[in-house]
A and B are shown apart, each in its own frame.
Chain A
Amino acid sequence: MFFSRRLVVIALAWTVAAPAARAAAQSSTATLSANVGTFAKLTVSSASISFPEADPDAIPQIPALGGPLVITAKSRATPNAQVVLSVQATDDLRSGVTVIAASNITWTVSGGGFVPGTLSTSSPVTVATWTGSGIRNGSQQLYFRNLWTHPTGTYTLSMTYTLSAP
């Protein structure tokens, strides 16, 4: 949008200045326009993560194998608009009929705009926020709360990351 306005200013300047030379020449008007719309592109370094078995006394918070997720968020937004990266679990951790609440998954972060949080099934949780357009990089280290009360099993859930650029 900002780019379009600049073109219009140029067009205006050109059309106002043209009459001085137009005494001996044919004039014509050319309109240039370029639409720069909002755009969002999100890249997460891995499509899956896993938490290994561990002694709850020794490792009360199990870090995901493979280290942090590396996140790249590219966004083109209106000036001063808030770009938001959020994540929401589609369901709790499930192993057959046995359930462990998704809130047992938490994360720490690195990178400007990124914030730590706790996973939820009921609402998106903010992973990062920024103002305006740009390319942002950060990482998210996920942890699984390791409790003696967790029933045995192999549990899975799916998380959906959403990048919004208004």
Chain B
Amino acid sequence: MTKAVWGSVLTAAAVLLFSNPVYAQATDTANVTVSATVSAKAKLTVGGTASFSDADPDVTTLLTATSAVSLDVKARTTTNGNVTLTVLASDDLSNGTDVIGIGNLTWTVTGTGFAAGTMSKTAAQSIGAWTGGGTQSGTQTYKPVNSWSYKTGSYSTTVT
């Protein structure tokens, strides 16, 4: 009987010895496809107004707007797509029947990619040009030519 007992103990010990296996790390995976749509988009923010104080044409040949107009350009395009900002006057500067040719309105600028120019009512004029999307900020200061030939009055026009 003693022999049987010891046999059982040894059997159990053997089970204990071999019942502690080392398992490999288990893994499972899952794949998810991601898609994103990026479309062309443009946003222009113009801040401020352009107004001018009267001045002696002999002293000040070019009037300067009392404040610059801020220009914030945001655009999303292709990698090398061209982003352009233009301006076009709807008409000449007018005060009733009195007119000052819109070609007398010039501007200077600050900011990368922005360009100085002269206003037109027949063809859009470039204010800025960039390559690729992004955000751009600058200012535009209007400077009309000051002339003795202007008739007195308050002149205005609309630019787009």
Contact = CB atoms under 8 A, between A and B. Distances in A.
Bind each other: yes
B31 A160 contact: yes
B28 A40 contact: yes
Given A156-B33, A162-B29, A163-B28, A8 B16 contact: yes
B19 interface: yes
Interface in B1-48: 1, 4-5, 7-9, 11-12, 15-16, 19-21, 23-41, 43
A142 interface: yes
Q: Describe B's contact surface by its main secondary structure.
A: mixed
B79 interface: yes
B32 A47 contact: yes
A162 B75 CA distance: 39
Which 5 A-B residue pairings sit nearest by Cβ, starting from the closest? A15-B8, A38-B26, A51-B36, A40-B26, A42-B28
Interface of A: 1, 4-5, 7-8, 11-12, 15-16, 18-19, 22-23, 27, 29, 31, 33, 35, 37-44, 46-53, 55-57, 62, 69, 75-78, 89, 93, 95, 98, 100, 105, 142, 144, 148-166
